[in-house]
Amino acid sequence: GENVEQHPSTLSVQEGDSAVIKCTYSDSASNYFPWYKQELGKRPQLIIDIRSNVGEKKDQRIAVTLNKTAKHFSLHITETQPEDSAVYFCAAVRTYKYIFGTGTRLKVLA
Amino acid sequence: DVKVTQSSRYLVKRTGEKVFLECVQDMDHENMFWYRQDPGLGLRLIYFSYDVKMKEKGDIPEGYSVSREKKERFSLILESASTNQTSMYLCASSLVLADNEQFFGPGTRLTVL
């Protein structure tokens, strides 16, 4: 069946450094790729998304890149801050069907 | 601001009990979803509903059923709870069914003893 592989499962960075999380998907019909952030004990919240007709999207310190040919997409966080510490989930979406990655626990060390 | 609420944050039940998890959204969204979240497995879709009284199976529907009698409310039912249904359950809603943001509730952590 379809799946999404997400790496790394844990990531520790120093405050101010950049963080990159990568996802690879199998369903070539996926055309929407959201990223969710889940802080400890809280609900997942959308932080950025990209559609298949776009290669890159940026929102302040967060950017997402998509390579449809290779079927992978990445989340880039620059100038990391302690409040960026959370679990991040990617998803590959085709119509209603969200296939989530297994999550990356990001720790930003002060 | 979209509000998705779930009836309980924590729930402890015994094996064989019938369990109801309720989800309410206040933004008139057509579409509602139930996921379970397990460490190392991410979020997996149990059921979704695209209209009142309409439902579709997701990837892991076995052992679960759902009910949507009103647009704002979507219930997940465990007919006879088992220990392997111990998990975090997340409800979500979306305005548009396809390729669109889903808004999540805070989750219910269910423990089945």
pLDDT exceeds 70 at position A29 = yes
Give me the residues paired with residue A35 across strands.
Answer: A48, A90
Closest listed residue to residue B61, CA positions, set B88, B33, B39, B83: B33
Average pLDDT over residues B82-90: 97
Is A12 in a helix, a strand, or coil?
Answer: strand
Residue B40 has a pLDDT of: 85
B109 touching chain A per CB within 8 A: no
Cα gap B30→A40, rounded to integer Å: 29
For residue A54, CA distances in Å to A57, A71, A93, B89, B97 come to 7, 13, 15, 33, 21
pLDDT for res A60: 95
Q: What is the pLDDT of residue B74?
A: 97
Of the candidates B43, B50, B101, the beta carbon closest to that of A100 is on: B43
B4-40 per-position pLDDT tens digit: 999 999 999 999 999 999 999 998 999 999 999 998 8
Q: Is the pLDDT of residue B98 over 80?
A: no
Residue found under tokens 């111990």: B86
Q: Which residues of A touch B (CB under 8 A)?
A: 1, 4, 6, 9, 31-32, 34, 36, 42-46, 49, 51, 89, 93-98, 100-103
pLDDT above 90 covers a percentage of chain A that reads: 87
B98–chain A nearest CA distance, Å: 4
pLDDT for A95 beyond 90: no
Of the candidates B45, B59, B107, which has its C-beta nearest A43's C-beta? B107
pLDDT of residue B96: 80
CA-nearest of A43, A46, A41, A5 to A23 is A5
Task: Specify the pairing of strand A86-94 against strand B108-112.
Answer: unpaired
